Structure 1
Amino acid sequence: MIKILIADDQELIRESLKIILSTNNEFEVIDTVGSGKEVVESIRRHIPDIILMDVRMPDMDGVQCTKFVKEVYPEIKVIVLTTFDDDEYIFSALKYGASGYLLKGVSLDELTSAIKTVLQGGAIFNPNVASKVTKIFSEMAKNNIVAERIHDEDLPNLSDTEWKIIQQVSQGLSNKEIAEILKFTEGTIRNYLSVILDKLQLRDRTQLAIWYIHRGKEA
Protein backbone atom coordinates (compact mmCIF):
# COMPACT_ATOMS: atom_id res chain seq x y z
CA MET A 1 0.00 0.00 0.00
CA ILE A 2 1.40 3.40 -1.02
CA LYS A 3 0.93 5.96 1.75
CA ILE A 4 0.12 9.44 0.42
CA LEU A 5 0.01 12.80 2.18
CA ILE A 6 -1.88 15.59 0.40
CA ALA A 7 -0.84 19.18 1.19
CA ASP A 8 -2.96 22.00 -0.26
CA ASP A 9 -4.33 25.17 1.29
CA GLN A 10 -7.67 24.71 -0.48
CA GLU A 11 -9.88 22.24 1.35
CA LEU A 12 -11.94 21.45 -1.75
CA ILE A 13 -8.80 20.52 -3.71
CA ARG A 14 -7.30 18.28 -1.05
CA GLU A 15 -10.56 16.50 -0.25
CA SER A 16 -11.27 15.98 -3.95
CA LEU A 17 -7.81 14.50 -4.43
CA LYS A 18 -8.35 12.23 -1.46
CA ILE A 19 -11.63 10.90 -2.89
CA ILE A 20 -10.14 10.39 -6.34
CA LEU A 21 -6.94 8.67 -5.17
CA SER A 22 -8.83 6.48 -2.70
CA THR A 23 -10.56 4.76 -5.62
CA ASN A 24 -7.21 3.03 -6.28
CA ASN A 25 -6.74 0.13 -3.86
CA GLU A 26 -2.95 0.52 -4.13
CA PHE A 27 -3.15 3.96 -2.48
CA GLU A 28 -3.86 5.00 1.08
CA VAL A 29 -4.31 8.74 1.70
CA ILE A 30 -3.05 8.87 5.27
CA ASP A 31 -3.72 12.59 5.81
CA THR A 32 -4.71 15.87 4.16
CA VAL A 33 -3.26 19.14 5.44
CA GLY A 34 -3.50 22.82 4.55
CA SER A 35 -0.19 24.39 5.58
CA GLY A 36 3.54 23.77 5.69
CA LYS A 37 3.46 23.50 9.47
CA GLU A 38 0.77 20.81 9.25
CA VAL A 39 2.90 18.91 6.72
CA VAL A 40 5.75 18.71 9.23
CA GLU A 41 3.41 17.61 12.03
CA SER A 42 1.71 15.01 9.83
CA ILE A 43 5.01 13.50 8.66
CA ARG A 44 6.10 12.98 12.25
CA ARG A 45 2.90 11.07 12.94
CA HIS A 46 2.46 9.06 9.76
CA ILE A 47 5.70 8.91 7.67
CA PRO A 48 4.16 8.87 4.17
CA ASP A 49 5.81 7.34 1.14
CA ILE A 50 5.02 10.37 -1.00
CA ILE A 51 3.68 13.91 -0.59
CA LEU A 52 1.57 15.76 -3.16
CA MET A 53 2.66 19.30 -2.34
CA ASP A 54 1.07 22.59 -3.35
CA VAL A 55 3.41 25.57 -3.74
CA ARG A 56 1.49 28.37 -2.04
CA MET A 57 0.59 27.46 1.53
CA PRO A 58 0.61 29.40 4.80
CA ASP A 59 3.34 29.09 7.47
CA MET A 60 5.82 27.49 5.07
CA ASP A 61 5.39 27.36 1.31
CA GLY A 62 5.69 24.16 -0.67
CA VAL A 63 9.23 24.87 -1.82
CA GLN A 64 10.58 25.44 1.70
CA CYS A 65 8.54 22.50 2.93
CA THR A 66 10.13 20.30 0.25
CA LYS A 67 13.56 21.46 1.40
CA PHE A 68 12.74 20.48 4.99
CA VAL A 69 11.30 17.11 4.01
CA LYS A 70 14.27 16.09 1.86
CA GLU A 71 16.80 17.20 4.47
CA VAL A 72 15.12 15.43 7.39
CA TYR A 73 13.27 12.58 5.64
CA PRO A 74 15.22 11.99 2.39
CA GLU A 75 13.38 8.71 1.74
CA ILE A 76 10.03 10.52 1.35
CA LYS A 77 9.26 11.47 -2.25
CA VAL A 78 7.71 14.82 -3.15
CA ILE A 79 5.63 15.70 -6.20
CA VAL A 80 4.76 19.37 -6.47
CA LEU A 81 1.14 19.64 -7.63
CA THR A 82 0.21 23.23 -8.30
CA THR A 83 -1.33 25.77 -10.67
CA PHE A 84 1.94 27.71 -10.99
CA ASP A 85 4.52 26.92 -13.67
CA ASP A 86 6.78 29.82 -12.75
CA ASP A 87 10.47 29.18 -13.54
CA GLU A 88 11.55 30.14 -10.04
CA TYR A 89 9.18 27.69 -8.39
CA ILE A 90 10.26 24.89 -10.72
CA PHE A 91 13.97 25.54 -10.22
CA SER A 92 13.66 25.81 -6.43
CA ALA A 93 11.53 22.67 -6.14
CA LEU A 94 14.07 20.65 -8.14
CA LYS A 95 17.01 22.18 -6.29
CA TYR A 96 15.54 21.10 -2.98
CA GLY A 97 14.82 17.56 -4.10
CA ALA A 98 11.30 17.31 -5.56
CA SER A 99 10.94 14.30 -7.87
CA GLY A 100 8.12 15.74 -9.93
CA TYR A 101 6.32 18.93 -10.85
CA LEU A 102 2.76 18.61 -12.14
CA LEU A 103 0.08 21.17 -12.86
CA LYS A 104 -3.39 20.73 -11.39
CA GLY A 105 -5.78 19.39 -13.96
CA VAL A 106 -3.79 16.24 -14.74
CA SER A 107 -5.95 13.16 -15.16
CA LEU A 108 -6.22 10.42 -12.56
CA ASP A 109 -4.28 8.08 -14.84
CA GLU A 110 -1.49 10.64 -15.23
CA LEU A 111 -1.31 11.27 -11.49
CA THR A 112 -1.36 7.55 -10.70
CA SER A 113 1.44 6.93 -13.20
CA ALA A 114 3.45 9.86 -11.80
CA ILE A 115 3.22 8.54 -8.24
CA LYS A 116 4.40 5.08 -9.28
CA THR A 117 7.20 6.47 -11.47
CA VAL A 118 8.55 8.64 -8.67
CA LEU A 119 8.42 5.79 -6.14
CA GLN A 120 10.43 3.66 -8.58
CA GLY A 121 13.14 6.30 -8.56
CA GLY A 122 12.14 8.28 -11.64
CA ALA A 123 11.17 11.88 -12.15
CA ILE A 124 8.00 13.23 -13.75
CA PHE A 125 6.99 16.61 -15.14
CA ASN A 126 3.90 18.07 -16.75
CA PRO A 127 4.61 18.56 -20.50
CA ASN A 128 4.43 22.35 -20.12
CA VAL A 129 6.89 22.15 -17.26
CA ALA A 130 9.25 19.69 -18.97
CA SER A 131 10.30 22.26 -21.57
CA LYS A 132 11.02 24.74 -18.78
CA VAL A 133 13.08 22.12 -16.94
CA THR A 134 15.16 21.51 -20.06
CA LYS A 135 15.66 25.25 -20.42
CA ILE A 136 16.64 25.64 -16.76
CA PHE A 137 19.15 22.78 -16.97
CA SER A 138 20.59 24.24 -20.18
CA GLU A 139 20.98 27.68 -18.64
CA MET A 140 22.57 26.19 -15.54
CA ALA A 141 25.10 24.40 -17.71
CA LYS A 142 25.89 27.55 -19.70
CA ASN A 143 26.25 29.67 -16.60
CA ASN A 144 28.46 27.13 -14.84
CA ILE A 145 26.21 27.06 -11.77
CA VAL A 146 26.13 23.43 -10.72
CA ALA A 147 28.95 21.26 -9.39
CA GLU A 148 31.61 23.98 -9.56
CA ARG A 149 33.58 22.12 -6.92
CA ILE A 150 34.11 19.03 -9.11
CA HIS A 151 36.79 19.76 -11.71
CA ASP A 152 38.35 17.19 -14.03
CA GLU A 153 41.48 16.99 -11.93
CA ASP A 154 39.36 16.30 -8.83
CA LEU A 155 37.01 13.85 -10.53
CA PRO A 156 36.88 10.51 -8.67
CA ASN A 157 37.46 7.31 -10.58
CA LEU A 158 34.17 6.20 -12.17
CA SER A 159 33.74 2.90 -13.98
CA ASP A 160 32.18 2.54 -17.42
CA THR A 161 29.06 1.11 -15.78
CA GLU A 162 28.84 4.08 -13.41
CA TRP A 163 29.11 6.49 -16.34
CA LYS A 164 26.33 4.61 -18.15
CA ILE A 165 24.09 4.86 -15.08
CA ILE A 166 24.84 8.58 -14.73
CA GLN A 167 23.97 9.15 -18.38
CA GLN A 168 20.66 7.32 -18.05
CA VAL A 169 19.76 9.13 -14.82
CA SER A 170 20.31 12.41 -16.68
CA GLN A 171 17.72 11.25 -19.23
CA GLY A 172 15.14 10.76 -16.47
CA LEU A 173 15.12 6.96 -16.43
CA SER A 174 14.03 5.17 -13.25
CA ASN A 175 16.14 2.55 -11.47
CA LYS A 176 13.86 -0.14 -12.90
CA GLU A 177 14.33 1.11 -16.47
CA ILE A 178 18.11 1.38 -16.04
CA ALA A 179 18.22 -2.14 -14.60
CA GLU A 180 16.38 -3.49 -17.66
CA ILE A 181 18.80 -1.74 -20.03
CA LEU A 182 21.98 -2.86 -18.23
CA LYS A 183 20.63 -6.35 -17.34
CA PHE A 184 21.09 -5.82 -13.61
CA THR A 185 18.65 -6.09 -10.73
CA GLU A 186 16.96 -2.95 -9.49
CA GLY A 187 18.76 -3.38 -6.16
CA THR A 188 22.14 -3.42 -7.93
CA ILE A 189 21.32 -0.13 -9.65
CA ARG A 190 20.32 1.40 -6.30
CA ASN A 191 23.66 0.31 -4.85
CA TYR A 192 25.59 1.72 -7.82
CA LEU A 193 23.69 5.01 -7.54
CA SER A 194 24.45 5.28 -3.83
CA VAL A 195 28.17 4.79 -4.52
CA ILE A 196 28.11 7.32 -7.37
CA LEU A 197 26.42 9.99 -5.26
CA ASP A 198 28.92 9.38 -2.46
CA LYS A 199 31.89 9.64 -4.84
CA LEU A 200 30.64 12.91 -6.33
CA GLN A 201 29.36 14.27 -3.00
CA LEU A 202 25.93 14.94 -4.49
CA ARG A 203 22.63 14.69 -2.63
CA ASP A 204 20.31 12.94 -5.06
CA ARG A 205 19.66 11.90 -8.67
CA THR A 206 18.38 15.36 -9.60
CA GLN A 207 21.69 16.96 -8.62
CA LEU A 208 23.47 14.14 -10.46
CA ALA A 209 21.52 14.88 -13.65
CA ILE A 210 22.28 18.59 -13.38
CA TRP A 211 25.96 17.87 -12.77
CA TYR A 212 26.16 15.58 -15.80
CA ILE A 213 24.47 18.10 -18.09
CA HIS A 214 26.70 20.85 -16.71
CA ARG A 215 29.84 18.86 -17.37
CA GLY A 216 28.86 17.94 -20.90
CA LYS A 217 30.30 14.49 -20.41
CA GLU A 218 29.53 11.82 -22.99
CA ALA A 219 29.92 8.47 -21.28
Structure 2
Amino acid sequence: MMKVLIADDQELIRESLRIVLDSKKNIEVTDAVANGQEVLRSIKECVPDIILMDIRMPKMDGVQCTQIVKELNPAIKIIILTTFDDDEFVYDALKFGASGYLLKGVSMDGLVEAIETVYSGRAMINPDIATKVVRLFSQMAQGDHSIHVEEKLVLELTKAEWKIIREVGKGASNKEIAEALFLSEGTVRNYLSTILNKLQLRDRTQLAIWVVQSHEFKNQQKVSGK
Protein backbone atom coordinates (compact mmCIF):
# COMPACT_ATOMS: atom_id res chain seq x y z
CA MET A 1 0.00 0.00 0.00
CA MET A 2 1.43 3.37 -1.06
CA LYS A 3 0.77 6.16 1.45
CA VAL A 4 0.28 9.54 -0.23
CA LEU A 5 0.01 13.04 1.26
CA ILE A 6 -1.65 15.73 -0.90
CA ALA A 7 -0.56 19.39 -0.55
CA ASP A 8 -2.40 22.02 -2.60
CA ASP A 9 -3.82 25.38 -1.55
CA GLN A 10 -6.88 24.95 -3.80
CA GLU A 11 -9.47 22.99 -1.86
CA LEU A 12 -11.25 21.70 -4.96
CA ILE A 13 -8.03 20.24 -6.38
CA ARG A 14 -6.81 18.57 -3.21
CA GLU A 15 -10.20 17.10 -2.34
CA SER A 16 -10.67 15.85 -5.90
CA LEU A 17 -7.26 14.21 -5.75
CA ARG A 18 -8.13 12.68 -2.37
CA ILE A 19 -11.33 11.14 -3.74
CA VAL A 20 -9.70 9.72 -6.85
CA LEU A 21 -6.59 8.36 -5.15
CA ASP A 22 -8.54 6.91 -2.22
CA SER A 23 -10.49 4.87 -4.76
CA LYS A 24 -7.31 3.07 -5.83
CA LYS A 25 -6.74 -0.25 -4.06
CA ASN A 26 -3.00 0.23 -3.73
CA ILE A 27 -3.06 3.87 -2.50
CA GLU A 28 -3.92 5.31 0.91
CA VAL A 29 -4.23 9.10 1.27
CA THR A 30 -2.81 10.00 4.67
CA ASP A 31 -3.90 13.66 4.57
CA ALA A 32 -4.79 16.59 2.29
CA VAL A 33 -3.34 19.95 3.36
CA ALA A 34 -3.19 23.53 2.08
CA ASN A 35 0.43 24.65 2.57
CA GLY A 36 3.96 23.62 3.45
CA GLN A 37 3.56 24.30 7.16
CA GLU A 38 0.66 21.85 7.27
CA VAL A 39 2.79 19.31 5.39
CA LEU A 40 5.42 19.43 8.13
CA ARG A 41 2.76 18.97 10.78
CA SER A 42 1.14 16.10 8.92
CA ILE A 43 4.31 14.07 8.34
CA LYS A 44 4.97 14.08 12.09
CA GLU A 45 1.61 12.39 12.66
CA CYS A 46 1.74 9.92 9.76
CA VAL A 47 4.78 9.49 7.53
CA PRO A 48 3.76 9.17 3.85
CA ASP A 49 5.73 7.37 1.16
CA ILE A 50 5.03 10.15 -1.34
CA ILE A 51 3.93 13.78 -1.19
CA LEU A 52 2.06 15.36 -4.10
CA MET A 53 3.34 18.89 -3.64
CA ASP A 54 1.86 22.00 -5.25
CA ILE A 55 4.77 24.30 -6.01
CA ARG A 56 2.87 27.55 -5.30
CA MET A 57 1.32 27.63 -1.82
CA PRO A 58 0.90 30.35 0.84
CA LYS A 59 2.94 30.46 4.08
CA MET A 60 5.47 27.94 2.74
CA ASP A 61 5.78 27.04 -0.93
CA GLY A 62 6.53 23.64 -2.41
CA VAL A 63 10.22 24.32 -3.05
CA GLN A 64 11.00 25.37 0.53
CA CYS A 65 8.85 22.56 1.89
CA THR A 66 10.62 20.01 -0.32
CA GLN A 67 13.99 21.09 1.08
CA ILE A 68 12.82 20.78 4.70
CA VAL A 69 11.01 17.47 4.20
CA LYS A 70 14.05 15.88 2.53
CA GLU A 71 16.28 17.10 5.37
CA LEU A 72 13.89 15.67 7.99
CA ASN A 73 13.20 12.40 6.19
CA PRO A 74 15.10 11.68 2.95
CA ALA A 75 13.04 8.51 2.41
CA ILE A 76 9.89 10.52 1.65
CA LYS A 77 9.55 10.97 -2.10
CA ILE A 78 8.08 14.15 -3.55
CA ILE A 79 6.23 14.77 -6.79
CA ILE A 80 5.92 18.45 -7.66
CA LEU A 81 2.61 19.51 -9.23
CA THR A 82 2.83 22.73 -11.19
CA THR A 83 1.73 24.72 -14.22
CA PHE A 84 3.59 25.07 -17.48
CA ASP A 85 4.91 28.54 -16.65
CA ASP A 86 6.72 27.76 -13.39
CA ASP A 87 10.15 27.42 -15.02
CA GLU A 88 12.01 29.29 -12.28
CA PHE A 89 11.02 26.67 -9.71
CA VAL A 90 12.11 23.60 -11.68
CA TYR A 91 15.76 23.50 -10.73
CA ASP A 92 15.31 24.30 -7.03
CA ALA A 93 12.66 21.63 -6.54
CA LEU A 94 14.80 18.97 -8.23
CA LYS A 95 17.97 20.20 -6.51
CA PHE A 96 16.38 19.70 -3.11
CA GLY A 97 15.43 16.12 -3.92
CA ALA A 98 12.06 16.04 -5.68
CA SER A 99 11.62 12.81 -7.65
CA GLY A 100 8.91 13.96 -10.02
CA TYR A 101 7.68 17.04 -11.84
CA LEU A 102 4.19 16.93 -13.34
CA LEU A 103 1.79 19.39 -14.87
CA LYS A 104 -1.46 19.84 -12.97
CA GLY A 105 -3.34 18.91 -16.13
CA VAL A 106 -1.94 15.37 -16.13
CA SER A 107 -4.57 12.64 -16.42
CA MET A 108 -5.47 10.65 -13.32
CA ASP A 109 -4.03 7.53 -14.94
CA GLY A 110 -0.84 9.48 -15.61
CA LEU A 111 -0.74 10.68 -12.00
CA VAL A 112 -1.19 7.15 -10.63
CA GLU A 113 1.54 5.93 -12.98
CA ALA A 114 3.84 8.69 -11.71
CA ILE A 115 3.14 7.72 -8.09
CA GLU A 116 3.95 4.09 -8.86
CA THR A 117 7.11 5.09 -10.75
CA VAL A 118 8.43 7.32 -7.97
CA TYR A 119 7.45 4.78 -5.29
CA SER A 120 9.63 2.21 -7.07
CA GLY A 121 12.62 4.54 -6.75
CA ARG A 122 12.70 6.12 -10.20
CA ALA A 123 12.20 9.71 -11.26
CA MET A 124 9.24 10.96 -13.28
CA ILE A 125 9.22 14.14 -15.39
CA ASN A 126 6.17 14.97 -17.48
CA PRO A 127 7.12 14.55 -21.18
CA ASP A 128 5.41 17.85 -21.99
CA ILE A 129 8.01 19.77 -19.99
CA ALA A 130 11.00 17.47 -20.48
CA THR A 131 12.44 19.80 -23.12
CA LYS A 132 12.24 22.72 -20.71
CA VAL A 133 13.96 20.72 -18.01
CA VAL A 134 16.80 19.66 -20.32
CA ARG A 135 17.22 23.28 -21.48
CA LEU A 136 17.47 24.33 -17.84
CA PHE A 137 20.05 21.62 -17.18
CA SER A 138 22.05 22.94 -20.15
CA GLN A 139 22.07 26.37 -18.53
CA MET A 140 23.10 24.81 -15.24
CA ALA A 141 26.01 23.15 -17.01
CA GLN A 142 27.48 26.62 -17.49
CA GLY A 143 27.32 27.28 -13.75
CA ASP A 144 28.53 25.60 -10.59
CA HIS A 145 25.81 22.95 -10.16
CA SER A 146 27.94 20.02 -11.20
CA ILE A 147 27.29 16.31 -10.94
CA HIS A 148 30.62 14.51 -10.79
CA VAL A 149 31.16 10.88 -11.85
CA GLU A 150 34.54 9.16 -11.57
CA GLU A 151 36.13 8.41 -14.94
CA LYS A 152 36.64 4.75 -14.09
CA LEU A 153 32.87 4.37 -13.64
CA VAL A 154 32.17 5.99 -17.01
CA LEU A 155 34.53 3.54 -18.71
CA GLU A 156 32.31 0.66 -17.55
CA LEU A 157 29.39 1.88 -19.71
CA THR A 158 28.54 -0.23 -22.75
CA LYS A 159 27.59 1.05 -26.22
CA ALA A 160 23.99 0.00 -25.57
CA GLU A 161 23.94 1.99 -22.33
CA TRP A 162 25.33 5.06 -24.10
CA LYS A 163 22.40 4.86 -26.53
CA ILE A 164 20.03 5.10 -23.57
CA ILE A 165 22.06 7.95 -22.06
CA ARG A 166 21.93 9.93 -25.32
CA GLU A 167 18.13 9.71 -25.29
CA VAL A 168 17.98 10.84 -21.65
CA GLY A 169 20.10 13.81 -22.70
CA LYS A 170 17.42 14.74 -25.23
CA GLY A 171 14.76 14.73 -22.51
CA ALA A 172 13.03 11.60 -23.84
CA SER A 173 10.62 9.63 -21.67
CA ASN A 174 10.99 5.86 -21.21
CA LYS A 175 8.28 5.32 -23.80
CA GLU A 176 10.03 7.58 -26.32
CA ILE A 177 13.38 5.86 -25.66
CA ALA A 178 11.77 2.46 -26.16
CA GLU A 179 10.26 3.54 -29.49
CA ALA A 180 13.50 5.15 -30.70
CA LEU A 181 15.67 2.13 -29.86
CA PHE A 182 13.09 -0.59 -30.59
CA LEU A 183 13.06 -1.84 -27.01
CA SER A 184 10.33 -2.52 -24.48
CA GLU A 185 9.76 0.05 -21.71
CA GLY A 186 10.72 -2.63 -19.19
CA THR A 187 14.07 -3.09 -20.91
CA VAL A 188 14.65 0.67 -20.87
CA ARG A 189 13.90 0.77 -17.14
CA ASN A 190 16.36 -2.07 -16.54
CA TYR A 191 19.04 -0.27 -18.56
CA LEU A 192 18.48 2.94 -16.59
CA SER A 193 18.72 1.10 -13.29
CA THR A 194 22.02 -0.47 -14.37
CA ILE A 195 23.36 2.88 -15.61
CA LEU A 196 22.49 4.64 -12.34
CA ASN A 197 24.17 1.87 -10.35
CA LYS A 198 27.30 1.99 -12.50
CA LEU A 199 27.62 5.77 -12.26
CA GLN A 200 26.57 5.85 -8.59
CA LEU A 201 23.86 8.42 -9.29
CA ARG A 202 20.71 8.79 -7.21
CA ASP A 203 18.13 9.00 -9.95
CA ARG A 204 17.29 9.93 -13.55
CA THR A 205 17.39 13.63 -12.69
CA GLN A 206 21.05 13.47 -11.66
CA LEU A 207 21.78 11.43 -14.79
CA ALA A 208 20.16 14.10 -16.97
CA ILE A 209 22.22 16.84 -15.31
CA TRP A 210 25.42 14.83 -15.72
CA VAL A 211 24.63 14.11 -19.37
CA VAL A 212 24.49 17.75 -20.42
CA GLN A 213 27.62 18.56 -18.40
CA SER A 214 29.67 15.56 -19.39
CA HIS A 215 32.65 15.72 -21.74
CA GLU A 216 32.34 11.96 -22.12
CA PHE A 217 28.79 12.41 -23.40
CA LYS A 218 29.95 15.01 -25.94
CA ASN A 219 32.69 12.67 -27.09
CA GLN A 220 30.16 9.87 -27.52
CA GLN A 221 28.04 12.20 -29.66
CA LYS A 222 31.02 12.89 -31.92
CA VAL A 223 31.83 9.18 -32.23
CA SER A 224 28.23 8.35 -33.13
CA GLY A 225 27.98 11.27 -35.53
CA LYS A 226 25.04 12.75 -33.66
Task: Look up the match of 1:138.
Answer: 138
CA distances 1:81-137 after superposition (whole Å, capped 9, x unpaired): 123532111122112111111111211111111111112222222233211101111
With the length of structure 1 as denominator, give the TM-score of the two structures. Answer: 0.77
CA 1:190–1:59: 2 relative to 1, 3 Å? farther
- SS of aligned partner of 1:16: helix
Tell me, in whole angstroms, the C-alpha distance in 2 between the residues paired with 1:215 and 1:15.
43
CA distances 1:116-175 after superposition (whole Å, capped 9, x unpaired): 11122222222332111011112222x143228x59xxx4642644688798578276xx
CA 1:117–1:161: 2 relative to 1, 3 Å? farther
Task: Look up the match of 2:153.
Answer: 158
Pairing 1:192–2:197 present: yes
Q: Is the 8 A contact 2:196 2:207 kept in 1?
A: no
Residues matched between the structures, number: 201
CA 1:167–1:211: 2 relative to 1, 3 Å? farther
- SS of aligned partner of 2:111: helix
1:217 alignment partner AA: E
Task: Look up the match of 1:200.
Answer: none
* Structure 1 residue runs without a partner (length 5+): 198-202
CA 1:36–1:118: 2 relative to 1, 3 Å? same
Tell me, in whole angstroms, the C-alpha distance in 2 between the residues paired with 1:9 and 1:102.
17
* Structure 2 residue runs without a partner (length 5+): 175-185, 221-226
- Overall identity of the aligned pairs, in %: 50
Question: Equivalences for 1:121-132 in 2 at 5 Å?
Answer: 121-132=121-132
* CA-CA distance at 1:6 after TM superposition: 0.1
Q: Is the 8 A contact 2:164 2:191 kept in 1?
A: no
**Alpha carbon RMSD of aligned pairs, Å?**
3.1
CA 1:92–1:31: 2 relative to 1, 3 Å? same
